[in-house]
A and B are shown apart, each in its own frame.
Chain A
């Protein structure tokens, strides 16, 4: 079985401050990890993924995420948040098998205030 936990329903930060959205996962074997962002009434947009290799992954719009195997975490970060980063963020995981099904976290609503 595979699962994702996003412990924070909401994250509020001021524009220009660092942004962190937390994610921990559980999966058999090595994971594929993903972050997606969803704006109101839209589908999910892919931000970044971890497959293997460097633990620090860089993605779209200045976002990055750090894979930590010992802590089974994949936290999303942005050094300087923008008001336009306000959205719903989902972490997702799947095991390295032929089954492409993802397990999603409950989502974290990010609000960046001007």
Chain B
């Protein structure tokens, strides 16, 4: 149980393109989803927290107009990197939690490797 599907797994595109990444909870309702960015051999950097039906909460230093997050249903959140540039190249990972029960872990997708040329 607790499977999170993230799509696509890899994207290569030209500078200026907008890229949408989907994160789905397959067998549970995700009241809260998180978006992370991970640089090579580094830990995860939290970008934003999204709750179903409300605006995402962005961490300090993350541009909300650059990284658009939508959490329209209890099983789907999307991250759109708008007008991507080479410095946006990274590994993006989503996670989800059902929020029910004590100490529920976050369950992670397999990540999206974004490469901007």
Which residue numbers of A lie inside 8 Å of B, CB to CB? 32, 34, 36, 41-46, 49-52, 90, 96, 100-102, 104-107, 109
Q: CA separation between A41 and B46, bound complex, in Å? A: 18
**Are A100's CB and B106's CB within 8 A?**
yes
Known: A32-B103, A100-B99, A101-B34. A44 touches B108 (CB 8 A): yes
A contact residues around B44 at 8 Å (CB)? 44, 90, 104
Q: CA separation between A107 and B44, bound complex, in Å? A: 9
**Distance in Å: Cβ of A83 to nearest Cβ of chain B:** 21
B contact residues around A46 at 8 Å (CB)? 2, 105-108
B contact residues around A109 at 8 Å (CB)? 41
Chain B contributes a number of interface residues (CB within 8 A of A) equal to 27
**Are B105's CB and A49's CB within 8 A?**
yes
Q: CA separation between A49 and B111, bound complex, in Å? A: 22
Which residue numbers of B lie inside 8 Å of A, CB to CB? 2, 4, 6, 32, 34, 41-44, 46, 49, 91, 93, 95, 97, 99, 102-111, 113
* 12 further A-B pairs in the complex, CB-CB below 8 A; given A32-B103, A44-B93, A101-B46: A41-B111, A43-B4, A43-B108, A43-B109, A46-B105, A49-B105, A100-B99, A101-B49, A102-B46, A104-B44, A105-B43, A107-B42
**Are B49's CB and A34's CB within 8 A?**
no
A contact residues around B46 at 8 Å (CB)? 101-102
Instruction: Name the CB-closest residue of B to A103.
Output: B46
B contact residues around A102 at 8 Å (CB)? 46, 106
A contact residues around B34 at 8 Å (CB)? 100-101
Q: CA separation between A15 and B99, bound complex, in Å? A: 38
Known: A41-B113, A44-B93. A104 touches B105 (CB 8 A): no
